[in-house]
Structure formats: C-alpha cells, structure tokens
C-alpha cells in the first residue's frame, strides 16, 4: 500500500502524513510550497516529516510539484505503485477567493482533475479528497446535513469544492472509482494556518494589535480539532466508498449513490459563538484582546454546524475534542514555534 498525499506540507496534509508514517505506511507527499502563507511554516512541517521518515525506514518521499502540471503528475503516478490517494492540496480560504479567483480554478479544478484522471488511469483503490463546509453556502437550516441540497454557494472557493464532489461522482459512476469527499469544518490546532482566526487572533493579541471581529462578533463556528480530523481520515482511508444497494434514484440521497461514492461532514457538531472562542484564547494567553468590530465579509457565512450522523454510522466515529483543550494545545505550539516570551 502506497498512499499519495497532496498538500503534504499544508496544515492537514502534514498531520495526516505524520500519522501515516508513524503508523508504518509508505507515503508520497506532493506540495508546491506556494506563498499563500509563509512558506517557512510549510518547510518546517516538511523537515519534521523528513526527520521522522529517516527513523522509519525511509517511509516518506517528498516531491515538490504543482497539481496543475499534468505532465509531472502523470510521471509521479507512472513512477510509483500508488494504491490510495488523499487530495488535500487546494487553494484554501473563502475571503481570498474574492480577490484571487484564478488560483482556485488552477488548483481546485485543474489540479483536482489532473489527480482524479490519474486515479482512474491507475485504478486507485480509494480516492479521498477535501471538500468543505463552504459547500453549504447560503443554507441556514442547521445542523448542515449531507442530505441537504448544496446548490447555493456564496464564494468561488465553495463552488470549486462542490464541483469536486460532482466530478468525483462522475468518476465513481463512469469508472467505478471509489471516492470519498470530506466536508471539513474550520479545522484548527498546532501547526495551523496563519490565515485562520485562531492564528490571527493569537498573533495579534501577543503583539498588542487589534483583532478583526467580523459580523460584529455575531458568528458561530463548528471548530474541529486537527487530531479528530486525522482520526477520521485514518479510518476512512481503509474503508473505500461502496455503492448503496438500496439507492433510490427517484428520491436521491446526495451523500451516496448507486456507484462507489460518499460525501461526509467531518465537523465537531458543537458550534461555538465567536465571542466565546475569543474569550477562551484570552484565557489561555492570560491577556485581553483589543477588538475591532467589522461587518460580515463578502463570501463569508454567519454560522456553520455539522450534522455528525452519517459519518458516525459509516465509521463509528465522532470528533470530541473541546475547544478549551484545542486552543490550549495550539497556544503551547505557537509560543514554542515562534519563541514567544509571554
Ligand atoms: N483547514 C480548514 O479549516 C479547512 C476547512 C475546509 C476545507 N479544507 C480543505 O482541506 C484541505 C487542506 O487544507 P489546509 O488547511 O491544510 O490548507 P493548507 O493551505 O495549509 O494546505 C494546502 C497545501 O496545498 C498546497 N497546494 C496548494 N495548491 C497546490 C497546487 N496547485 N499544487 C501543489 N500543492 C498545492 C499548499 O502549498 C499547501 O501546503 C484543502 O483542500 C482545504 O480547502 C480545510
């Protein structure tokens, strides 16, 4: 079994690759180390993976490559006996997609296509990919269920993730490729992304700068701890999507199909008001934040809330880390990594 992880030096890809190596798997990691955020953080993650693999009989090979380069992606699949693929490389971020749409088309559509085409060509046993809670777009019915329609995206980012699900279904149907899409909900934790709230708030508070509180603080997020996400992914890799034998085409269920296709939420199912999240950060840092209240940003949504049932039925797993623990783990990592005195 050789697992290809794309976005291996990204936040989630790093944690997944680390867990896979530690569990004795052979992993090939791809990343283009782009500068959407500080590439030094990506390189630091990568150095940990390289060090770990030297202790684990060289179980990890890193290839710097861009998903949109079809020739290179084809060569990677031709040169290695890849059996499983986890596609985490993407242009992430809702707000950035308003100003930089091209990069979402390149990575999330062309890049995704180049990977799934190779999964078809090489008859990969299981193709997993990152979708997002952003596919729920303008929906206000909570919790967000995989059975709800997701036809009203409010950001190009969300639209590309929904496209990924549609493309995956087509490949599951036409080529019998087992595909599983995971709708992640605001993943946070050590080695987290510098463009996300926990990182931005922690940094600003420590530097005595104001934090930007959007929608005047009236936001609710289903924050999901990284270890829970990795736990779920580790179960899922070894459980390829199957077809649903009693699938009813006249009343279609959007999380499964007559072909080997699944889509699941991977969220904490315990939404936290943004102001409570900020209070927890302040508590953990022992310092108050200066707050700058701002309106809701374009492309953003006021609330996310994941329904846990379908994933729980499928792998008997539900995320369960509290934000108190998660925030504290993040801050411990942040202070250590950035050598912060406080
Ligand atoms: N973190 C979250 O809260 C969250 C929520 C929903 C969905 N997701 C999705 O999960 C996946 C992983 O997210 P993350 O938080 O780890 O983000 P990340 O930005 O830390 O990781 C993505 C990695 O992919 C790489 N990459 C981007 N485009 C590439 C390309 N064209 N070719 C090769 N490498 C490329 C980047 O350099 C980066 O290291 C993404 O698909 C993201 O959209 C994340």
Q: How confident is the model at residue 54 (pLDDT cuts 50, 70, 90)?
A: confident
What pLDDT does 341 receive? 63
Burial 273-293 (b: 16+ CB within 10 A, else e): ebeebbebbbebbeeebebee
Axis-axis angle for helices 112-121, 156-175 (nearest 10): 10
Q: Are 100 and 195 in contact (CB under 8 A)?
A: no
Q: Are 289 and 281 in contact (CB under 8 A)?
A: yes
Mutate to test the pocket of ligand 1, among 11, 35, 183 (most ligand atoms within 8 A of CB): 11
Q: Are 30 and 66 in contact (CB under 8 A)?
A: no
The total domain count for the chain is: 1
Compute the average pLDDT of residues 45-59: 89
Domain that holds residue 178: 2-188+225-268+306-320
175 is catalytic: no
Beta strands 2-6 and 26-31 are parallel
**Residue 333 Cα, ligand 1 centroid: separation in angstroms?**
20
CB 263: neighbour CB atoms within 10 A?
25
Residues with CB under 6 A from ligand 1: 7, 9-13, 30-34, 42, 66-68, 88-92, 107, 111, 130, 132, 184, 186-187, 193
Taking all residues of the chain, what is their mean pLDDT, rounded to a whole number?
Answer: 96
Q: Are 248 and 288 in contact (CB under 8 A)?
A: no
Q: Is residue 277 part of a domain?
A: no
**Residue 255 Cα, ligand 1 centroid: separation in angstroms?**
23
* CATH number of the domain encompassing residue 312: 3.40.50.720
Mutate to test the pocket of ligand 1, among 5, 8, 12 (most ligand atoms within 8 A of CB): 12
**Residue 31 Cα, ligand 1 centroid: separation in angstroms?**
9
Q: Is residue 137 part of a domain?
A: yes
What gap in Å lies between CA 29 and CA 24, rounded to an integer? 15
Closest Cα to atom 20, ligand 1: which residue?
10
Q: Is residue 16 part of a domain?
A: yes
* CA of 185, closest atom in ligand 1: 5
Q: Is residue 108 part of a domain?
A: yes
**Residue 193 Cα, ligand 1 centroid: separation in angstroms?**
9
**H helices of 88-237, where?**
96-99, 101-104, 112-121, 156-175, 197-206, 226-237
| pLDDT at 57 > cutoff 90 | no
Compute the average pLDDT of residues 233-242: 98
Q: Is residue 203 part of a domain?
A: no
Nearby residues of 259 by Cβ (< 8 Å), 6 or more positions away = 169, 172, 173, 176, 243
* CA of 93, closest atom in ligand 1: 43
Q: Is residue 75 part of a domain?
A: yes
Q: Is residue 26 part of a domain?
A: yes
Q: Is residue 291 part of a domain?
A: no
Q: Are 265 and 161 in contact (CB under 8 A)?
A: no
pTM of the model: 0.98
pLDDT, tens digit, 9 for 90 and up, residues 259-308: 999 999 999 999 999 999 999 999 999 999 999 999 999 989 999 999 99
What gap in Å lies between CA 280 and CA 238, rounded to an integer? 36
pLDDT, tens digit, 9 for 90 and up, residues 101-145: 999 999 999 999 999 999 999 999 999 999 999 999 999 999 999
Q: Are 178 and 85 in contact (CB under 8 A)?
A: no
Closest Cα to atom 43, ligand 1: which residue?
92
Mutate to test the pocket of ligand 1, among 10, 45, 265 (most ligand atoms within 8 A of CB): 10
């Amino acid at each position: 079994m050789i697992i290809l992880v794309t976005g291996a030096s990204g936040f989630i890809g790093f944690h997944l690759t680390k867990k896979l190596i530690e569990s004795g798997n052979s992993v090939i990691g791809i990343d283009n180390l782009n500068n959407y955020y500080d590439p030094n953080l990506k390189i630091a993650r990568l150095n940990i993976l390289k060090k770990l693999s030297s202790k684990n009989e060289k179980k990890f090979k890193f290839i710097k490559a861009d998903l949109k380069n079809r020739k290179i992606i084809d060569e990677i699949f031709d040169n290695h006996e890849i059996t499983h693929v986890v596609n985490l490389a993407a242009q992430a971020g809702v707000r950035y997609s308003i100003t930089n749409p091209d990069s979402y088309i390149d990575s999330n559509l062309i890049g995704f296509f180049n990977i799934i085409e190779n999964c078809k060509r090489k008859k990969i046993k299981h193709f997993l990919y990152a979708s997002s809670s952003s596919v729920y777009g303008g929906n206000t019915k909570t919790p967000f269920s995989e059975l709800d329609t997701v036809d009203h995206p409010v950001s190009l980012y969300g639209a590309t993730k929904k496209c990924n699900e549609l493309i995956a279904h087509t490949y599951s149907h036409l080529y019998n490729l087992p595909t599983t899409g995971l709708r992640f909900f605001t993943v946070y934790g050590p080695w987290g992304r510098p463009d996300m709230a926990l990182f931005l708030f922690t940094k600003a508070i420590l530097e005595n700068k104001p934090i930007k509180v959007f929608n005047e603080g009236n936001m609710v997020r289903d924050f999901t701890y990284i270890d829970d996400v990795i736990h779920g992914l580790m179960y899922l890799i070894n459980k390829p999507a199957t077809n649903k034998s009693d699938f009813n085409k006249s009343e279609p269920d959007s999380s499964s199909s007559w072909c080997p296709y699944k889509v699941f939420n991977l969220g904490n199912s315990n939404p936290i008001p943004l102001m409570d999240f900020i209070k927890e950060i302040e508590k953990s840092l022992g310092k108050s934040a200066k707050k700058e209240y701002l309106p809701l940003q374009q492309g953003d949504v006021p609330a996310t809330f994941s329904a846990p049932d379908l994933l729980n039925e499928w792998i008997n797993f539900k995320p369960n880390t509290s934000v108190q623990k998660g925030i504290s783990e993040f801050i411990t990592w942040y202070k250590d990594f950035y050598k912060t005195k406080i």
